[in-house]
Amino acid sequence: MKPILEIQDVGKKYRIQHMAGGYLSLRERMLSTLKFARNEVEDFWALKDVSFNVQPGESIGIIGRNGAGKSTLLKILSKITPPTTGKIISRGRIASLLEVGTGFHPELTGRENVFLNGSLLGMKRKEIEAQFDEIVDFSGVEKFLDTPLKHYSSGMQLRLAFAVAAFLEPEILIIDEVLAVGDAEFQKKCLGKMENVSKSGRTILFVSHQLGMVGQLCKTAILLDKGEILTQGKVDVVINQYTQYLSNGNEYVNQDATQKTAYFFQSIKSLSSNLKAVSAFAHNEEIVLEINFMAMQRLKNTHLLVAINNKNGQRIFSSDISLDDYDIKVNAVNFAYVTLPAETITPGNYSFFTAIHSPNAIGYDVKDNVCPISVYDNGSAFTQYENKWFYGDVFVKCSWRIK
């Protein structure tokens, strides 16, 4: 079967003009021509040699940092802007949702906007009429259908806009981050609708920063960086690589060479379960903290404490172990590894609190807010909970009994 979309060596060059003022004015143009002095122009490649194929029915996630070229790629695929190099062959009707509610006008009523927006998205009037009741039903604003849009709350506007978009039935659907807005329940509804779309054999290209959503919706993904494809492949592999390269060194290293307390930390770093240094973890991965400490003396009743702070710096739980039963080398480096079970802390940003102490007596060395890590959702079972409510920082697998 031929690919439904072939992207061959596509590149996009923008000229950045180094001058004041937003847009060109004729005067500036004429002046620069007269003076034979070109405005300082710099070429900027927003996209470079991007090639990939999309098979019918495939859902591809496109991820990357801001400015990686994701939106430019989608704009080229949606024919909004032409590529500077390369070519694209498509075999099917493309609809792109780079924004919800494109063309919505505040003076028009909800009903009128549905028709306007739908037809802008490429739906025929007959198609809109046929699905009108379903669209309205999906949006849940039937009471206000004949009210001008300017009297809608922003949430209602979004719902209406999503509802129109949800009923698009192209062979290829291009979606840019649009689901990042709107309330969680409605998002879920849209995600469900999109899953149906992809299951019904249509092709989806999906850009999002919500990695969990990408993971859930897409089987394969492309990682863009500085306009080029860094990796492409199975979605979890690509997401993993993306988060690896997002995370830079978070290791704590003791800089004070003169430290002479009985115990002190030399270095602390977070590791994956296969002991590679990383700072971003999937929700379903174990988090290992490697603590490297010096013991200058051997003192009784010494404990090692590790606690986790959430993004607000609040301690969410601790784990403590007595070192008395272990063979601790004096005047040498000791290694402690503590493993946080997978699926414990919910997606978000955290840091560690570590202490070597004698409980309620003395703290030999205390380090707070070290080793920042982030936990992300990669489309695991947790995705079903994502964004719905705030679940707290710890998701505990309690034992349940239901009678």
Partner 1 sequence: MTEPEEHTIDSSHRGFFNWKELWLYRELFYFFTWRDIKIKYKQTVLGFLWAILQPLLMMIIFTLFFGRVLNVPSQNIPYPVFVLSGLLLWNLFSTGLTNSANSMVSNSTIIKKIYFPRLIVPTSSILVSLFDFLMAFALFILLLIYYQQPVGWNALLYWPLALWISVIATLGPGCLLAALNVKYRDFRYVIPFLIQILFFLTPIIYPVSMLKYPLLQYVLVMSPMYAAVELFRFPLTSEEMNLTFLFISLASGFLFLILGILYFKRTEDFFADFA
User: Which residues in this chain contact partner 1 in the complex, by CB under 8 A?
Assistant: 4, 10-11, 14, 23-27, 29, 75-76, 78-92, 96, 98-99, 102-103, 105, 107-108, 112, 115-116, 119-122, 124-125, 148, 171
Please report how close the Cβ of residue 36 comes to partner 1 at its closest, in angstroms.
20
Which CB sits closer to partner 1, 169 or 290? 169
Q: Are 107 and 149 in contact (CB under 8 A)?
A: yes
Please report how close the Cβ of residue 88 comes to partner 1 at its closest, in angstroms.
4
Cβ burial 22-49 (10 Å sphere, 16+ → b, else e): eeeeeeeeeebeeeeeeeeeeeebbbbe
Please report how close the Cβ of residue 29 comes to partner 1 at its closest, in angstroms.
7
Q: Which residues pair with 50 in a beta bridge?
A: 10
Which CB sits closer to partner 1, 125 or 234? 125
Please report how close the Cβ of residue 157 comes to partner 1 at its closest, in angstroms.
14
Please report how close the Cβ of residue 160 comes to partner 1 at its closest, in angstroms.
16
Strands (E), 203-342: 203-207, 220-225, 228-234, 252-253, 263-271, 280-282, 287-295, 303-309, 315-322, 332-340
Q: Are 53 and 220 in contact (CB under 8 A)?
A: no
Which CB sits closer to partner 1, 129 or 142? 129
Please report how close the Cβ of residue 68 comes to partner 1 at its closest, in angstroms.
19
Q: Which residues have C-beta within 8 Å of that of residue 142, sequence separation ≥ 6?
A: 136
At which residue do the structure tokens 């979606």 appear?
175
Which CB sits closer to partner 1, 25 or 322? 25
Q: Name the residue type at position 236.
A: D
Please report how close the Cβ of residue 199 comes to partner 1 at its closest, in angstroms.
18
Q: Are 356 and 265 in contact (CB under 8 A)?
A: yes
Which CB sits closer to partner 1, 150 or 388? 150
Which CB sits closer to partner 1, 50 or 340? 50
Strands (E), 55-113: 59-64, 85-90, 94-97
Q: Are 378 and 239 in contact (CB under 8 A)?
A: yes
Please report how close the Cβ of residue 117 comes to partner 1 at its closest, in angstroms.
10
Tokens of 219: 């089987």
At which residue do the structure tokens 């969680």 appear?
184
Please report how close the Cβ of residue 315 comes to partner 1 at its closest, in angstroms.
45
Phi, psi (rounded to 5 degrees) for 394: -120, 130
Judged by phi (left if over 0) then psi (alpha if -120 to 50, else beta), residue 304 lies in beta
Which CB sits closer to partner 1, 108 or 230? 108
Which CB sits closer to partner 1, 147 or 231? 147
Which CB sits closer to partner 1, 112 or 286? 112
What is the total residue count of the chain? Answer: 403
SS (H, E, C) 254-265: CCCCCCCCCEEE
Rg for the chain, CA atoms, rounded: 27
Please report how close the Cβ of residue 7 comes to partner 1 at its closest, in angstroms.
10
Angle between helices 154-166 and 184-199 (to 10 degrees): 10
Which CB sits closer to partner 1, 87 or 199? 87
